[in-house]
Amino acid sequence: MKDLDLTTLRLFVAACDLGNIARAGEQQHIGSSAISKRMALLEEQVQAPLLERHRRGVVPTAAGLMLLEHARAMLASADRAARDMAAYQHGVKGQVRILASVSSIAESLPDDIAAFLQKPEHAQIRVDIEELTSSEIIRSIREGLALVGVCWNAADLEGLQTLPYRCDTLAVAVPAGHPLALRDSCSFSETLDCEHVGLPAPTAVYTMLARAAAIIGRPLNYRAVVSSFDATIRCVRAGLGVAIMPREILGMAGSGQGVQGMHMVPLTDAWARRQFAICFRDGSRLSPAARTLADYLAGCAQAG
């Protein structure tokens, strides 16, 4: 089979996404007849039907769905290569796209990356950060859509190489005046009589807490589900419920400290101490800039 043409793959992805060859042509500024011809040649090349044609448009076949996944990865790699080459023309000698979980971004990762970039020897390196859930990060790293990720190390990291990053400690955030605010610590089970404020289902914290509640055999009742820790803090301060969240987000080293109408009480459960991991597919294939950043972040964890 001949090498797949990126332009044809881009047209194929557009046709699948839009469900219509004519609309794909409008988006890609090419005639629909030219796209149809390219699709026919692509099907001949891979020796499989890729699109089912209907009166209202097209949908990918089973073979088309398989190719679509590979096409997205190939186009993403090509786009990254183009951006990296453009960056070199502007004096940037390395560009790293790092995928990170909400907790790592809300805690120390931005400060660590800022410190990395301030070093003179890293002046020609650019670092871009994208927030994803741990499962999305791992899937993207496995598919080659990004080189480096930072996520909770209890996630399914099988097949990936890792370096240890920083740790955090989960605590229960409660409004001022709440009975738990007077405690030095408490267990997760003691919070289940309260209504909770939490992050959406795909996040690592949500998954962990759902599993812990199931083991105890008690329901976890959410009064509010929000998209960020900032929103979580506002809901707790307003008295809408309690929340399980990293105490490092508020820079609290001890327990029972109130911050503008809220207290953080450390959890006694063993799983409340979390370790983050820097993950990648193959350290030997990382770009020099990505390897330098990964080693630096791992060094931050050791220093911390």
Contact between 46 and 68 under an 8 Å Cβ cutoff? The reply is no
Q: What is the pLDDT of residue 255?
A: 39
Nearest to 173 by CA among 201, 198, 203, 209: 198
Encode pLDDT of 101-140 as tens digits. Answer: 988 998 899 999 999 999 988 888 989 999 998 889 999 9
CA dist 89 → 61, 81, 94, 96, 125 (Å): 41, 13, 11, 16, 13
CA dist 289 → 121, 164, 297 (Å): 11, 18, 12
Q: What is the DSSP string of 170-228?
A: EEEEEETT-GGGG-S-B-GGGGTTS-EEE--TTSHHHHHHHHHHHHHT----EEEE-SS
Length of the chain: 304
CB-side neighbour CA atoms (13 Å) of 73:
15
- The DSSP code for 263 is E
Higher pLDDT, 210 or 203: 210
Strand partners, 64: none
Q: What is the pLDDT of residue 254?
A: 38
Is 227's pLDDT higher than 90? no
Q: What percent of the chain has a predicted confidence (pLDDT) above 70?
A: 92
Quickly state the pLDDT bin for 61 (edges 50, 70, 90).
very high
Amino acid at 245: M
Encode pLDDT of 273-299 as tens digits. Answer: 999 999 999 988 888 889 999 999 999
Residue 156: strand, helix, or coil: coil
CA dist 14 → 46, 58, 152, 189, 246 (Å): 18, 11, 34, 50, 41
Contact between 139 and 274 under an 8 Å Cβ cutoff? The reply is no
Mean pLDDT of 91-98: 76
Tokens coding 200:
């959406």
